[in-house]
């Protein structure tokens, strides 16, 4: 895999691995998000999409790798620290907007 560092990245994920017991949910995840970008995570059930989001939201801590905010190592050790950085998470809920099914 070719890794490209983006100096203009707002958020960078580098080599993040997350395990739940013997299950490896994430292995070496890299992601760069520049200011103003919107990203979509697609994949099969069990691919790790929700786990990536929960790591970024501070719900889970990575077992390996690092998170960078404006190029500086960031310790996202809980949901409030993610919110303090400006990372907001909207979980998939069907009843978030009244009147929609």
pTM: 0.80
Q: How do 64-69 and 11-20 pair as beta strands?
A: antiparallel
Which sign does the torsion angle of CA 36, 1, 21, 69 carry?
A: negative
Is residue 47 a contact partner of residue 24, using CB atoms and an 8 Å limit? no
CB burial class (10 A; 0-12, 13-18, 19+) of residue 22? exposed
Is residue 17 a contact partner of residue 64, using CB atoms and an 8 Å limit? yes
CA 81/CA 73 separation, integer angstroms: 13
Task: For 43-69, write each residue's pLDDT tens digit.
Answer: 898 999 999 999 999 999 999 999 999
Higher pLDDT, 1 or 96: 96
CA 76/CA 87 separation, integer angstroms: 10
CATH code at 11-85: 3.40.50.300
In the predicted structure, residue 92 carries a pLDDT above the cut 90: no
């Amino acid at each position: 895999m070719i890794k490209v560092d983006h100096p203009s990245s707002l958020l960078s994920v580098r080599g993040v691995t997350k395990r739940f017991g013997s299950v490896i949910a994430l292995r070496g995840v890299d992601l760069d998000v520049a200011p103003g970008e919107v990203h979509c995570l697609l994949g099969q059930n069990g691919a790790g999409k929700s786990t990536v989001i929960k790591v970024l939201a501070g719900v889970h801590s990575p077992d390996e790798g690092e998170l960078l905010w404006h190029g500086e190592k960031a310790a996202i050790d809980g949901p409030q620290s993610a919110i303090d950085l400006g990372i907001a998470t909207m979980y998939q809920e069907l009843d978030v907007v009244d009147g929609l099914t």
